[in-house]
Structure 1
Amino acid sequence: MTKLTGVGVSPGRVIGPVLQMPASAREPRADERWGADTTAEAETARLKTASKAVQAELKRRADAATKDASAVLEATAMMAADPMLLKSAAKLIAAGTSAERAVWEAGSAVAEMLLSLGGYMAERTQDVHDVRARLVAELRGLPAPGVPTSEQPFILAAEDLAPADTATLDSTQVLALITSSGGPQSHTAILARALGLPAVVAATGADAIEAGTSVYVDGATGTIITDPGDDERAAAARWVEQTAALGTFNGTGTTSDGHLVPLLANVGSGKDARAAAAAGAEGVGLLRTEFCFLDRETEPSGEEQASAYREVFDAFPGRKVVVRTLDAGADKPLPFLTDASEPNPALGVRGYRTGTVSPGVLTRQLQAIARAAADTEAEVWVMAPMISTAAEAKSFGEMCLAEGLDQPGVMVEVPSAALTSEAILQHVGFASLGTNDLTQYTMAADRQLGQLATLNDSWQPAVLQLIKLTVAGAESAAAGTAEAKPVGVCGEAAADPALAVVLVGLGVQTLSMSARSLPTVAAVLASVTRTEAQELAALALAAPTADLGRTAVRERLPILETLGQ
């Protein structure tokens, strides 16, 4: 028996055989050249053919995937045909290098450039490596990298998973995910939570477990045990019972003493919205509008946008739907809007800031949102991402009102917005905390890096203090006025049931999460009074470290063990 410890990012206790992600294409020899029986033109043509084949295969998979998965696959398909990558490879081919070695070197150069930029752009290196391996495999006539298949369910192990791989995971076959790299807000972690798969990331040695080995995974504690014994089998059996007993969300989030806490859903499409409504979500706390813009060379028309938004609004008649305006930039570059050459895109022109370099895009989006809102019964609220100053909030609020959108708000994702929330909320009606970015910026810790997982944790006392300050600022801004200035959370922190209690104790009024998280969060909230939530929030705030705060709160929530959390 061997025990590995990583970061638990999605709860669940399961036992199953491990299958490792197949090794990607091996690096071609450094001296590999095309032979005398061909030409540079023919070798370049071979690479272009491989590029088209990889792109076509990824697009085929995208057509069969869900909306969110399709967007990921489409983005990877575009990278397979990236002009910079292919031109760099063509230059190497002209100098005598084989197509395989040329695309490998060109891909390495692109990946190194992205890594040097840091932040979100560094996250794209995994995508480049994935595309590079697919192109080499295609050139050599080898199977493309991908999730293995099996006649029985299995636990998938890897160093990390590329978006193109995670996008096509079959949750009926994959029991859990374990990786030796990645962080708590990595693509793998977010996908695992969305699919309801137990997952542990940043577990050194996970990618070295021999295929077929029986493994126990506890996605809440971050524990991986090979050759599990009776205790682990009993724990896994209890998880099945606990999950079955949990039931579904009844549609009303509340503490045990009747304090209402609306539980909303994060969605990215009409399909997501309908699924969330069926799961009992009380509304939408985050509509990611990027799904209308990604993988396009030009801005979508106003009618295209309005039609897409209307599909979401129609799923929640009479309910609140919070729309986040375009969050382009950083890890979501758009050819017609963002500058991929920025030295540090995570700190660059992203979100609301894109309006300074591309005037009109935000106005046209607000007009499309207003057009869709006029045709539905949903209560439409609109918020801007990456707001840093009161002046930005004032400008955005005025833009919304000019288009007839009377519920403008802001995302609080950077420390400056939390620290000046009172001034910011003088100009808009609400705030929503994006805890993923707020944590990353507060702790100066890239959320994708497994080495920084302990820093990149929303339980960090500094992050909780900023949340408390945001709520206090909202209360001060509302003092003496007839309207409240509600503060919600739409980041991943809301899906952690213990942290959800702390957030309510800090004064957060609504929580938004993946639809799968609703029943668990609702059950844990219903086990405490509002006063108890406030006491637990004080415990977390007073803790010197994130781990100690988490432990202190969890010890006071015995229901977590009952629910297998």
Structure 2
Amino acid sequence: MTALTGVGVSPGVGVGPAYVLSYEVVVPSPDARHDGDAAAERARAGAALERVAADLEERGVRAGGEAEGILGAQAMMARDPGLAAEVAQSIDGGAAAARAVYEAFGRYREALAGAGGYLGARVADLDDVRDRAVAVLEGRPLPGVPARAAEPYVLVAHDLAPADTALLSRDVVAAFVTEEGGPTSHTAILARAIGVPAVVACPGATSIAAGTRVLVDGTGGVVRAGPTDGEVAGALAAAAAWGAALAAATGPGATSDGHRVPLLANIGGPRDVAAALEHGAEGVGLYRTEFLFLDRASAPSMEEQEAAYREVLNAFPGGRVVVRTLDAGADKPLAFLPPGGDEPNPALGERGLRLFRTHPEIMDTQLTALARAASGAPSRVEVMAPMVAGVEEAAWFAAACGAAGLPSAGVMVEIPSAALRASDLAATVDFLSLGTNDLAQYAFAADRQVGALAALHDPWQPALLDLVALAAEGAGEHGKPCGVCGEAAADPALACVLVGLGVTSLSMSPPALPAVRAALSRHSREECVLAARAARGTASAAEARAAARSRLPGLAALAL
């Protein structure tokens, strides 16, 4: 039996024969030329790109949910006017359509890869659009995976494109395993959305022979080729027990001794509300408003923003909806909102609140739209600013929210300076919210998208837990709430530790809510405190995880 280890990004256990996706990228010859009719060749290239865009859109509509937005964004890549202009220029220079498309996408690819972060993670999506367009022009079959099989299979690949996975279900695929990717990759997002166990960043996965029986643990990140019948039976029994425990855990989030911990959802817009409600979200802990602004030539109007905000606010009567103002810049640049000058290191440049201060009209419109949407809404809107480094910025943002008529202003704690001086921030605003993904990135000087640095982004790192504790303590000194909206909150064991550190609410991807609810319900607040203390007393992420779990006996009963 062979065991491989990767990053578990979608919980559960899946078993089935391996289907190893080994699509060979078609690279048109650098010498490929057209027959001299440039106009006809440009038309051929345009038709191929439009065919790809239409196919992606159609797949997205059929899949719905997260997939619709992801594939819609890919379709926009295929229709990008700048890319079309580059293709046309190459064709006018004599290049064949397939070669022109390949080269144009290559230049875009280099720019995205160099940007890193959110845009760097979209390179795989861009490659997929390129490969589909080239395949159409070369008369080759499009990339794809089996939509039907004799039994659910484990899909193994170097990486997976959204179009390959959006229409799959548990009836077709038992699990996903990829050598590339990370927790924020579209493979991970879609796997969680359709409830399929998934492991990414798993070196050696494609060496598994096709047809080999594979057991995938999407919680622990372990992939076993050729497991015994006993191992499969044990894993499936544990998964069944886990599912039963999750089904039994209902109602508001709380520890076993009644300490309330609101469990909220991270969403990107109205289309994510249904999943949040389905999994029992008590409100929204992170509304990522940048998805309204991305891939546009101009900012959305006040009316468009108001409608999107109001739809979410109306979905959670009596609950909280925490809205993060536009988090643009660095790895999420906007064509209509450029930074003030050249930035040699955009991740340390003008992003989030810093960009708002450079373009106050964008902030004024967003805050006014939020205030209008909140008027008469059945839920409470709370607005927070990203990338706040200190008290002066926090006070400036709080004043802007007050001027707009918004009742509650908070800040994200994702820069170490904000965690270190959390007490000062809490004295200035109404609440704090920890973004553990970026907090780790800045604390460890490690880009979130660089696979070689993945270990530094393990949310169990004791230094990161120390920063969380500082922030929660600082907020508590002023009686202010301090939530966590990073993916750390989605780990049931770590969720208990966060509560033990003093965090007052947890927000996560909707499918993670039941497991966290179940884990909290089986432990007292005191057990959470002891687990947190044990984790902070260690020297590594692995030791912290082990120490905490040894003090959380209810996790074993949940098979977590």
Residue identity in the other structure for 1:302: M
Once the two structures are superposed, the pairs formed by residues 492-511 of structure 1 within 5 Å of their partners are: 492-511=487-506
Matches of 2:268 and 2:119, distance apart in 1: 22
Contact residue 528 and residue 552 of structure 2 kept, 8 A = no
* AA aligned opposite 1:83: P
Following TM superposition, by how much is the alpha carbon of 1:249 offset from its aligned partner in structure 2, in angstroms? 4.0
1:395 alignment counterpart = 396
| 1:347 paired residue number | 348
Residue 311 (structure 1) shift: 1.4
Which amino acid in the other structure matches residue 213 of structure 2?
A: S
Cα distance in structure 1, aligned partners of 2:43 and 2:55: 18
For residues 161 and 330 of structure 1, do their structure 2 counterparts lie closer, same or farther at Cα, with a shift above 3 Å needed?
farther
Counterpart of 1:39 (choices 30, 37, 40) is 37
SS of corresponding position for 1:217: strand
- Give distance in 1, aligned partners of 2:318 and 2:312: 13
**Structure 1 Cα separation of the partners of residues 313 and 183 of structure 2:** 31
Out of 82, 90, 93, which is 2:91 matched to? 93
| 1:434 pairs with 2:435 | yes
* Aligned twin of 2:518: 523
1:7 lines up with 2:21 in the alignment: no
SS of 2:457 mapped into structure 1: coil
In structure 2, the CA distance between the partners of 1:503 and 1:102, relative to structure 1 (3 Å rule), is same
- 8 Å CA contact 1:21–1:148 kept in 2: the answer is no
Q: Distance in 1 between matches of 2:65 and 2:189?
A: 15
Q: Distance in 1 between matches of 2:508 and 2:248?
A: 15
Preserved contact between residue 411 and residue 432 of structure 1 (Cα < 8 Å): yes
Cα contact 2:181–2:200 (8 A) shared by 1:
yes
- Structure 2 vs 1, CA of residues 148 and 456 (structure 1 numbering), >3 Å: closer, same or farther? farther
The question of whether the paired residues in 2 share the 8 Å contact of 1:50 and 1:135 is answered with yes
How many Å apart are 1:387 and its aligned residue?
1.6
Aligned to 2:557: 562
Report the CA distance between 1:405 and its aligned residue: 0.8
Distance change >3 Å, CA 231–CA 330, structure 1 → 2:
farther
Deviations 1:494-517 (A, max 9, x none): 110000011011100111122322
Rounded to whole Å, the distance in 1 between the matches of 2:193 and 2:119 is 23
Correspondence for 1:444: 445
**Matching residue of 2:454:** 453
Q: 1:563 Cα deviation (Å)? A: 2.0
Q: 1:60 to 1:354 in 2, by over 3 A?
A: farther
- Report the residue type matching 2:259 in the other structure: H
What code does the residue aligned with 2:40 have?
A: A
1:343 positional shift: 4.5
Distance in 2, Cα, partners of 1:24 & 1:415: 44
Aligned AA (2:138): R
Higher deviation after alignment, 215-224 or 67-76:
67-76
Report the Cα offset of residue 40 of structure 1: 2.9
Instruction: Look up the match of 2:196.
Output: 197
Structure 1 window deviating more from structure 2 (332-341 vs 272-281): it is 332-341
Change in 2 beyond 3 A, CA 1:351/1:249:
farther
Helix, strand or coil at the partner of 1:41: helix
What is the aligned partner in structure 1 of residue 259 from structure 2? 259
**Which residue of 523, 538, 542 corresponds with 1:543?**
538
**SS state of the match for residue 483, structure 2?**
strand
Q: For residues 166 and 452 of structure 1, what CA distance do their matches in structure 2 show?
A: 27
Equivalent residues of 2:116, 2:449 under 8 A apart: no
Letter of the 2:203 partner, please give it.
T
Aligned residues: 557
Q: Does the aligned pair in 2 maintain the 1:184–1:457 contact within 8 Å?
A: no
Return the TM-score normalized by structure 1: 0.92
Amino acid at match of 1:374: S
Q: Take 2:448 and 2:148, find their aligned partners in 1: how far apart are those partners?
A: 32
2:161 equivalent in structure 1: 162
| CA-to-aligned-CA distance 1:423-454 (integer Å, 9 cap, x gap) | 22222110111112212222233333333221
Q: Which amino acid aligns with 1:315?
A: A
Mapping of residues 266-305 of structure 1, within 5 Å: 266-305=266-305
In 1, Cα distance between the equivalents of 2:330 and 2:162? 16
AA partner of residue 436 (structure 2)? T
For structure 1, list consecutive stretches of 5 or more residues without a partner in the other structure.
479-483
Superimposed CA distance per residue, residues 12-55 of structure 1 (whole angstroms, 9 cap, x where no aligned partner): 12211222335153212233222xx4423332222122122222
Partner of 2:310: 310
Distance between the aligned counterparts of 1:330 and 1:21, measured in 2? 33
Q: Distance in 1 between matches of 2:78 and 2:99?
A: 16
Q: Secondary structure at the match of 2:334?
A: coil
Q: Which residue of 2 aligns with 1:144?
A: 142
Aligned CA distance change for structure 1 residues 24 and 394 (closer, same or farther; 3 Å):
farther
Q: CA deviation at 1:67?
A: 4.3
For the residues of structure 2 that align with 1:20 and 1:78, how far apart are their CA atoms?
29
Output the CA distance in 2 between the equivalents of 1:109 and 1:355: 30
In the alignment, the residues of structure 1 paired with residue 334 and residue 530 of structure 2 have an alpha-carbon distance, to the nearest angstrom, of 45
CA–CA separation in structure 2 for the residues paired with 1:275 and 1:91: 44
Q: Distance in 2 between matches of 1:336 and 1:42?
A: 34
| Contact residue 52 and residue 132 of structure 2 kept, 8 A | yes
Deviation at 1:485, TM superposition (A): 1.1
Structure 1 residues 104 and 274: alpha-carbon distance in aligned structure 2, compared to 1, 3 A threshold:
closer
Aligned-partner residue type, residue 180 of structure 1? E
Amino acid of the structure 2 residue aligned with 1:126: A
The residue type equivalent to 2:111 in the other structure is M
**How far off its partner does 1:248 sit?**
4.9
Q: 1:322-369: per-residue Cα shift (whole Å, max 9, x none)?
A: 111122334444332346985444333332223234331111111111
Task: Write the distance in 2 (CA, Å) between the matches of 1:141 and 1:47.
Answer: 13
The aligned counterpart of 1:179 is 178
Of 484, 487, 491, which aligns to 1:489? 484
> Whole-Å Cα distance in 1 between the matches of residues 205 and 519 of structure 2?
31
| Letter aligned with residue 27 of structure 1 | V
- Quote the Cα distance in structure 2 between the aligned partners of 1:259 and 1:135: 55
Residues 9 and 188, structure 2, Cα contact 8 Å, conserved in 1? yes
Letter in 1 for 2:178: T
The CA RMSD measured in Å over matched residues stands at 2.3
**Partner of residue 319, structure 2:** 319
Identify which of 42, 57, 75 aligns with 1:59. Answer: 57
1:364 aligns with 2:365: yes
Distance 1:19 1:415 in 2: 44
TM-score of the aligned structures, taking structure 2 as reference length: 0.93
1:481 is matched with which residue? none
For residues 508-549 of structure 1, the C-alpha deviation after alignment (integer angstroms, 9 at most, x for no partner) is 011112232222212211222222211111111121111111
* 1:461 Cα deviation after fit: 1.3
Cα distance change, pair 345–501 in 1 and its aligned pair in 2 (3 A)? same
